[in-house]
Amino acid sequence: MEKEDFMRKAIQLSVEKMEADFGGPFGAVIVRNGEIVAYGYNNVTASNDPTAHAEVDAIRKACQHLGTYQLTDCELYTSCEPCPMCLGAIYWARFRKVYYGNNKKDAAQIGFDDQFIYDEIDKPLPERHIPMEQLLRNEALVAFQAWQKKNDKMEY
């Protein structure tokens, strides 16, 4: 299969699953060595899960299928340029390459505007829309100190 075929599958998923009322019009396909290893689609409203975006859905399925938490030898084909949350997941998964169809301006034009999140990230904590307050740092550091001393940890 060619790159365009994988993208067409992601686009097909975006339409089919949206029409089936799973969520917004977003689909994703993960490919390794020229073979599809996982499909994903937006199912935010069907699952009542705001993190159930197409890319996250596909990443979870691919990692489970492949038995790994890193997808360094995989490409992601997604019907739309990833949102900030999905972009973070993509970097944590360490994809080799990402292909996307629609861009974030296209998404904003139909009501999926993520610019406010990019803006929030750049703001100092006290100026963010959702208040954030550090609490019990010294107690929380215990877990980090234990991690630092753990001899058999699997670093990622």
Q: Catalytic residue numbers? A: 55
Any idea what the Cα angle at residue 62 is, between residues 56 and 64, rounded to 5°?
105
Say whether 14 sits in a helix, a strand or coil: helix
Phi and psi dihedrals of 82, rounded to 5?
A: -65, 145
Any idea what the Cα angle at residue 152 is, between residues 148 and 155, rounded to 5°?
65
Sheet with 35-41, strands from edge to edge, namely: 35-41, 27-32, 74-80, 97-102
The H or E element spanning position 72 is: none
Distance (Å, whole) CA 39 – CA 141: 38
Say whether 93 sits in a helix, a strand or coil: helix
